[in-house]
Amino acid sequence: MSTATLPSTSRPTMTQTTTASAGAPALNPAYIQIKDFSFYYGAAKVLHGLSLDIPEQQVTAFIGPSGCGKSTLLRNLNRMNDLVDGIRHEGDILVNGHSIYDPLIEVIALRKRIGMVFQKSNPFPKSIYENVVYSLRVAGRNGKAELDEVVERSLKGAALWDEVKDRLHESAFGLSGGQMQRLCIARAIANRPEILLMDEPCSALDPIATAKVEELIHELKKEFTIVIVTHNMQQAARVSDRTAFFYLGKLIEYDVTTNIFQNPANAQTEAYVSGRFG
């Protein structure tokens, strides 16, 4: 995709174009359309008929108080919720115009296309190198030259290369918390997915590590479409282009980030972003 060269300063313009072209998703390969999506854990309905479009190569932030369903929605985008028992959904989610719930698509293939970084860093009990190339190994790609190249590119992409290049074959558990999270990001981008889902990636990190990850998100945006869930409104304001505010399983407001934080249309949004509840 040549659009990776788009400058970040063109954010507002970009936002305008993508929202305007929402009706023609086929043009954007990584376009996510959430259509009247409801989700149930057993009898409990946790998402209530959400509809929103997520544009390509931008950072979209999901914010909202705990239990609002933002993480649940994120985890549905790559069908990680399939692991949970007693789930049910209504509505549909389309990626690149195709339903991810189409029985004919392979969940494994879907997840190769949509990477995910978790709230708590979860490196595998393997070396740094093996962590990064895991997605290639499970795909049967074992060529050393390719793996070496992927490791270097991914770790550089995750701004971790300089810190770990001399100990690639040591255990990933020797890293600090912030490094581990960046390793998980490197691991997620190793197979060059189209979309990167980040579930509160900085919640367990100190401010310095957080700053590094945020900086990284800015860089990654050039290549990936990023959806990030965060509790930290400053973070949402800093890193995202668009922000969706959820409350009690409903989408309250979805707009360009600057609008949400400076000029929210909804009173609840205003109360939340100004810290009066939540």
Partner 1 sequence: MPAKPTPPPVPARFQVGKATLLMDRFMNQFIKIGGLSVIVAVFGIFIFILVQILPLFRGAQAEELKAFQLEPGDYVQLGIDEWSELPFAMQADGDLNFIDVVGDRGVMTKTLPFAADHGVGAVQYNQLAQRLAVGTRDGQFSLVEIAYRPTYGAGNARTIEAELKAGDLLAIGRPGVPVAMIGYADAGARKLAVAKQIVDGRMELHAVTLAQRRTLMGGGRITLDRTYNLTGLVTGTIDKFLVAAQADSVLIATTEGELIYLFLDGGEFYVRQRLKPFAHLPDPRIKLLNYVFGDVTFVTVGMNGETKGYSLFLDPAVGSRQFGETKRFDARPGATEVFAASVRNKAFLLGTERHARLIFSTTETVRWQQDLGFSVRQAIIGGKYDRMVFLDEASKLHFFRLNDPHPESSFRAFFGKLWYEGAPAPKYDWQSTGGSDDFEPKLSLVPLIIGSLKGTFYALLFAVPIALLAAIYTSQFLKPEVKTIVKPTMEIMASLPSVVLGFLAALWLAPILETRVPSVILIVTLVPLTALAFGWAWTKLPPRARLAIAPGWEFVVFLPMMFAAGYTAWHLGPSLERLIFVVTDPTSGQRVADFRLWWPSVTGTPFEQRNSLVVGFMMGFAVIPIIFTIAEDALSNVPQSLRSGSLALGASRWQTAFRIVLPTASAGIFSALMIGLGRAVGETMIVVMATGNTPIMEWNIFSGMRTLSANIAVELPEAPHHGTLYRTLFLGAMVLFVMTFLVNTVAEVLRQRLRDRYKTVE
Instruction: Out of 180, 209, 236, 244, name the contact with partner 1 by CB under 8 A.
Output: 180
Q: Is 43 in the site for partner 1 (CB under 8 A)?
A: no
Q: Is 103 in the site for partner 1 (CB under 8 A)?
A: yes
For the bound state, the minimum distance from the C-beta of residue 117 to partner 1, rounded and expressed in Å, comes to: 9
CB 19 within 8 A of CB 242: no
In Å, the largest CA–CA distance within the chain is 56
Q: Is 80 in the site for partner 1 (CB under 8 A)?
A: yes
For the bound state, the minimum distance from the C-beta of residue 155 to partner 1, rounded and expressed in Å, comes to: 16
Question: What token pair was written down for 116?
Answer: 């995910």
Rounded distance between C-alpha atoms, residue 167 and residue 120, angstroms: 23
Q: Is 40 in the site for partner 1 (CB under 8 A)?
A: no
Instruction: Out of 124, 161, 219, 271, name the contact with partner 1 by CB under 8 A.
Output: 124
Instruction: Out of 22, 139, 248, 267, name the contact with partner 1 by CB under 8 A.
Output: 139
For the bound state, the minimum distance from the C-beta of residue 172 to partner 1, rounded and expressed in Å, comes to: 9
Q: Which residue has the tokens 């009706």?
A: 23
Q: Is 137 in the site for partner 1 (CB under 8 A)?
A: yes
Q: Is 121 in the site for partner 1 (CB under 8 A)?
A: yes
CB 185 within 8 A of CB 119: no
**Which residue, 90 or 215, has its beta carbon nearer to partner 1?**
90
For the bound state, the minimum distance from the C-beta of residue 248 to partner 1, rounded and expressed in Å, comes to: 25
Instruction: Out of 43, 44, 109, 145, name the contact with partner 1 by CB under 8 A.
Output: 109
**Which residue, 14 or 184, has its beta carbon nearer to partner 1?**
184
For the bound state, the minimum distance from the C-beta of residue 90 to partner 1, rounded and expressed in Å, comes to: 18
Count of residues that bind partner 1 according to CB under 8 A: 33
Q: Is 7 in the site for partner 1 (CB under 8 A)?
A: no
**Which residue, 78 or 269, has its beta carbon nearer to partner 1?**
78
Q: Is 83 in the site for partner 1 (CB under 8 A)?
A: yes
Query: Which spans of this chain sit near partner 1 (rule: CB under 8 A)?
Result: 78, 80, 82-83, 85, 103-104, 108-109, 111-112, 115-116, 118, 120-126, 134-135, 137-139, 171, 173, 180, 184, 187-188, 191
